[in-house]
Homo-oligomer: A and B are copies of this chain.
Amino acid sequence: MICEILSVGTELLMGQIANTDAQFLARRLSMLGITMHRQTTVGDNPGRVKEALREALSRADLVITTGGLGPTEDDLTKEMVAETFGLPMEVHGESLERIRAFFTSIGREMAANNAKQAMIPRGARVMPNRKGTAPGCIIEAGGKIVAILPGPPFELIDMYEQQLEPYLLSLSDSVIASRFLHIVGVGESEVETRLLDLFHSDSPTLALYCNPGEVTARLTVMCRRDEDPAPLLDPVDREIRRRMGSAVYAEGIDVSLPKEIVRRLAERGETLAVAESLTGGMLASQIVDVPGASRVFLEGCVSYATEVKRRALGVPQAVLDADGPVSEACARAMAEGALRISGASWALATTGLAGPGGGTPETPVGTVFVALAGSNMETRVKRFQLRSDRPRVRAMSCLYALNLLRLRLDEMET
């Protein structure tokens, strides 16, 4: 099945927001084995929406629109789809009731223009909006499918996961089964080199998705709905793990290293503290971003000024004088200080030079030290030399710090 995404919204054409809806849909559709050939963005302009829709329908079997479902006159995606298929718009009673109930729940009267959001092309399958007021819908006509989704990301994601994805899965008797292996600490080109011959297989197919410091390998097979895909996926899965070794840190879809750390520490009944210099709170923030982080995360010290490393974490003045704040010895003392002060089971520390200024020949911009301290172990410190801009150097430093702890947990659990 060939799919296109049609994003509607002047705010996208003006660059006010990034099109994360298109990214979310593209990623999820590719997991279903649906092929994407094109994504188009147009503004809230009736003629251009219709033109882009007609073009997309001439090339694709499935067109997913995002945005343009709001209450104002500008919002006209549903109306343009209806016109294209020659369908009249009708009030959808249940949606109207939901919208009215929503306004009642927040103690406000429903405005007249919100009633427009309950209008649906005749014959469409309605997708109720559990996170907002505008329902989505699916229209099957002329051998094509158009799915209409709202623009706000948390409305779109919920509607896709709860309603559109199950619908798309129901269309086919074969299903796509995927498995995701998450790899950290090995660069993209190195992963590619080690797995090169595996890319030539037709089943399972292998693809890599890359983020700074992290690579996800996706294995995909097509099988019958009632077939167990595991025996088809297992041999290549084992082969990847054999070649990548401990760099594979998890399997699954909605996985990240902070989530893994929170999950595993919670299972072990253990706690974590962090001490940060160049990451400046980003490491703590990534952990706190995981719902339920309070079960394992105790505290963070953003010891940005050198003096704070001494006073708040107990880094010896001798270390600061002789080795400096960007050094193995300082990272070690920061982690050990955070462990001692917090009473946590584990402490992670980061120090380094994110740039753009401040580099020296011995300690160039991009020099990063991450450290792990724990109660029954010698403190571990790793040095990295990262080549990137300030935000990315900081993000990769967080990942590498978390990976130190992950590797230690792996050791203890095998």
A394 to B26, CA, bound (A): 27
| A61–chain B nearest beta-carbon distance, Å | 16
* Copies of this chain present: 2
Size of chain A's interface in residues, with CB distance under 8 A?
Answer: 72
Q: Closest residue of chain B to A24, judged by CB? A: B15
Judging by beta carbons under 8 Å apart, are B299 and A300 in contact?
Answer: no
What secondary structure prevails in chain A residues at the interface with B? mixed
Contact of A409 with B by CB under 8 A: no
Task: Give which listed residue, B13, B276, B289, B301, contacts A391 with CB less than 8 A.
Answer: B289
| A7–chain B nearest beta-carbon distance, Å | 8
Residues in B with CB closer than 8 Å to A307 are: 298
Judging by beta carbons under 8 Å apart, are A285 and B289 in contact?
Answer: no
Judging by beta carbons under 8 Å apart, are A300 and B302 in contact?
Answer: yes
Residues in B with CB closer than 8 Å to A357 are: 291-292
| A25–chain B nearest beta-carbon distance, Å | 7
A279-298: which have CB < 8 Å to B? 279-285, 287-289, 291-294, 297-298
Q: Closest residue of chain B to A208, judged by CB? A: B16
Contact of A168 with B by CB under 8 A: no
Judging by beta carbons under 8 Å apart, are A27 and B15 in contact?
Answer: yes
Judging by beta carbons under 8 Å apart, are A302 and B299 in contact?
Answer: yes
Judging by beta carbons under 8 Å apart, are B294 and A284 in contact?
Answer: no
Judging by beta carbons under 8 Å apart, are B23 and A18 in contact?
Answer: yes
Contact of A207 with B by CB under 8 A: yes
| A246–chain B nearest beta-carbon distance, Å | 24
Judging by beta carbons under 8 Å apart, are B356 and A291 in contact?
Answer: yes
Quick check: which of A37-45, A112-120, A222-230, A370-378 contacts chain B, the rest being far away? A37-45
Residues in B with CB closer than 8 Å to A16 are: 27, 209-210
* A residues in contact (CB < 8 Å) with B: 11-20, 22-30, 36-43, 45, 48, 52, 154, 207, 209-210, 274, 276, 278-285, 287-289, 291-294, 297-305, 307-308, 312, 341-342, 355-357, 389-391, 394
